[in-house]
Amino acid sequence: MKKTIFKGAATALITPFRDGRVDTAAFGAIIEEQLAAGIDALVVCGTSGEASTLDDNEHIGAIEFAVKTVNGRVPVIAGTGSNDTRHGLNLSKRAASVGADALLVCTPYYNKTSQNGLKTLYTMYADAVDVPIIMYNVPSRTGLNIEPQTYAYLADHPNICAIKEANGNFSKIAETFALVGDRLDIYSGNDDQTVPILSLGGKGVISVLSNVLPAETSKMCHLLFEGRTAESAAMQLKYVPLISALFSDVNPIPVKEAMYILGRSTPELRLPLVRMSAEKAAVLREELAKAGLNAIN
**Dist CA 228 CA 189 (whole Å):** 22
Of 151, 153, 164, 256, the active-site residue reads 164
Q: Is 239 a catalytic residue?
A: no
Check if the beta carbon of residue 10 is closer than 8 Å to that of residue 205.
Answer: yes
pLDDT the model gives residue 2: 83
Q: Please report the domains of the chain, with CATH numbers, ordered by start residue.
A: 8-214 (3.20.20.70)
Give percent helix, percent strand, percent coil of the chain, each to the nearest 5.
Answer: 50, 15, 35
* 109 classed as catalytic: no
Tens-digit pLDDT profile for residues 203-229: 999 999 999 999 999 999 999 999 999
Tell me what pLDDT residue 90 has.
Answer: 97
Per the omega criterion (within 30 degrees of 0), is the bond before 214 cis? no
Residues of the chain predicted below pLDDT 70? 1
Catalytic residue among 122, 125, 136, 260: 136
Q: Would you say the pTM of this structure is higher than 0.85?
A: yes
Q: What is the pLDDT of residues 229-279, one digit of tens each?
A: 999 999 999 999 999 999 999 999 999 999 999 999 999 999 999 999 999
Q: Are 248 and 284 in contact (CB under 8 A)?
A: yes
* pLDDT in the model for residue 136: 98
Q: Contact at 8 Å (CB) between 173 and 197?
A: yes
Bond from prior residue into 139 cis (ω within 30 degrees of 0):
no
Q: Which residues of 216-239 are buried (b: 16+ CB within 10 A; e: fewer)?
A: bbbbbbbbbeeeeeeebbebbeeb
Q: Count Cβ atoms below 10 Å from residue 104 Cβ, excluding itself.
A: 29
What pLDDT does residue 266 have? 97
Q: What's the pLDDT at 63?
A: 98
